[in-house]
Amino acid sequence: ASSAALCTSGTAVLELQLARLPCIVAYRAHLLTEWIIRLKTKMHFISLPNILMDSQIIPEALFSSCNPMELSMLL
């Protein structure tokens, strides 16, 4: 059994929430990809539970903040 999980955005986050397992969403991309995503989208969240609730109920480490130090602090 696990006490926490690290996952990417998608249905895995929903499954972890159904199992009541705390998780952190991590998503890293190339700097150019990050720039395009930030330019083209107005969404504040990337994980499905956060989008559905329109608030950050699951911590997200996205793009440049997806680094070992940030992930260890969130976990």
pTM, entire model: 0.79
Residues 6+ apart with CB under 8 A from 55: none
Residues 20-55 pLDDT 10s = 999 999 998 888 988 898 888 888 898 989 999 999
Other CB atoms within a 10 A radius of the CB of residue 58 amount to: 21
Q: Report the pLDDT value the prediction gives residue 17, as an integer from 0 to 100.
A: 92
Q: Report the pLDDT value the prediction gives residue 68, as an integer from 0 to 100.
A: 92
